[in-house]
Amino acid sequence: MKIAVLGGTGLIGSQVVRILRTAGHDAAPLSPSTGVDLLTGQGLSEGLTGAEVVVNLTNSPTFDDASPAFFQTTMDNLLAAADRAGVSHAVVLSIVGVDQVPDLAYYRAKVLQEDILKAGPVPYSIVRATQFFEFVEAILSWTADDTTVRLPRTPVQPMAAADVAQAVADVSTGAPLRGVRNVAGPDVFALDELGRVTLAARGDQRTVTTDDNVGMFAAVPGAALIAVDDAVIASTTYREWLDRQG
Ligand SMILES: NC(=O)c1ccc[n+]([C@@H]2O[C@H](COP(=O)([O-])OP(=O)(O)OC[C@H]3O[C@@H](n4cnc5c(N)ncnc54)[C@H](OP(=O)(O)O)[C@@H]3O)[C@@H](O)[C@H]2O)c1
């Protein structure tokens, strides 16, 4: 099956392409670095020729108030081109609990992306994943200085990017869900505790200070980012993953 993977050069996209190719599919990574730009539409029609499935794993360059425009334009361009090409399944990767965090511009942008997909002409699936283990480093860096990392106690249930990619590949090769599949990691952490576990595993001497008012995740109400009842729970634990990083 020919599967066009928008953002197929990114963290998740590159792994999805690899999994799909290993399973015998004709998976094409489409992104600016392969000559396809979803913002301008450059290279899109050619890239989608013959594709039965499109998987959108692109990301906005910023998480701020510019992100809704990115997802609006890229989804409009993608769905119009997919419809013209006769694509029969469009898949988007979103975030568990995304519709419960209205105070974050990026989360509102991802809800907009989901809504455009649902209202569009192509049968669809949405995979909602929790925060990637690979994203923890960036989260810590946003509120860190040379001695201290400040983090709120926001509950998170992170998962390995490899497990996210497998879930996306599984959904992409199945029938359109016309709904959402939630996927999450095996363990819930308070974000400050996740920071302490991470620094300890790396031999990083900095201290984690709990501060419920700091950083992007302070805007998350209650347990909004925790897996809901129907979620598929991935097997890789954070400690196993940290051990493998060496
Ligand atoms: N971070 C998390 O914890 C988390 C959790 C749940 C869901 N997600 C979602 O997962 C998705 C993928 O994230 P990621 O970390 O794998 O992203 P990433 O590594 O930053 O990769 C982004 C991809 O988007 C491509 N791209 C950027 N602008 C583009 C454009 N104008 N046209 C076409 N392609 C474009 C990039 O292409 P180039 O390589 O050519 O620049 C790259 O392939 C995102 O939508 C995000 O919302 C993230």
Q: Evaluate: CB of 37 within 6 angstroms of ligand 1.
A: yes
Predicted confidence (pLDDT) per residue in 119-149, tens digit? 999 999 999 999 999 999 999 999 999 999 9
Number of neighbouring beta carbons within 10 Å of residue 3: 25
Give the domain CATH number at 50: 3.40.50.720
Predicted confidence (pLDDT) per residue in 148-167, tens digit? 999 999 999 999 999 999 99
Q: How many domains does the chain have?
A: 1
Residue 164 C-alpha to ligand 1 middle, in angstroms? 13
Q: Evaluate: CB of 62 within 6 angstroms of ligand 1.
A: no
Q: Evaluate: CB of 238 within 6 angstroms of ligand 1.
A: no
pLDDT at position 161, please?
98
Ligand 1 atom with least separation from CA of 38: 32
pLDDT at position 105, please?
95
Q: To the nearest 10°, the Cα dihedral for 185, 191, 196, 198? A: 40
Q: Evaluate: CB of 39 within 6 angstroms of ligand 1.
A: yes
Which stretches in the chain have pLDDT values below 70?
none
Number of neighbouring beta carbons within 10 Å of residue 66: 13
Range of the domain at 29: 2-245
Q: Could you say which DSSP state residue 23 is in?
A: T
Q: Evaluate: CB of 6 within 6 angstroms of ligand 1.
A: yes
pTM score, two decimals?
Answer: 0.98
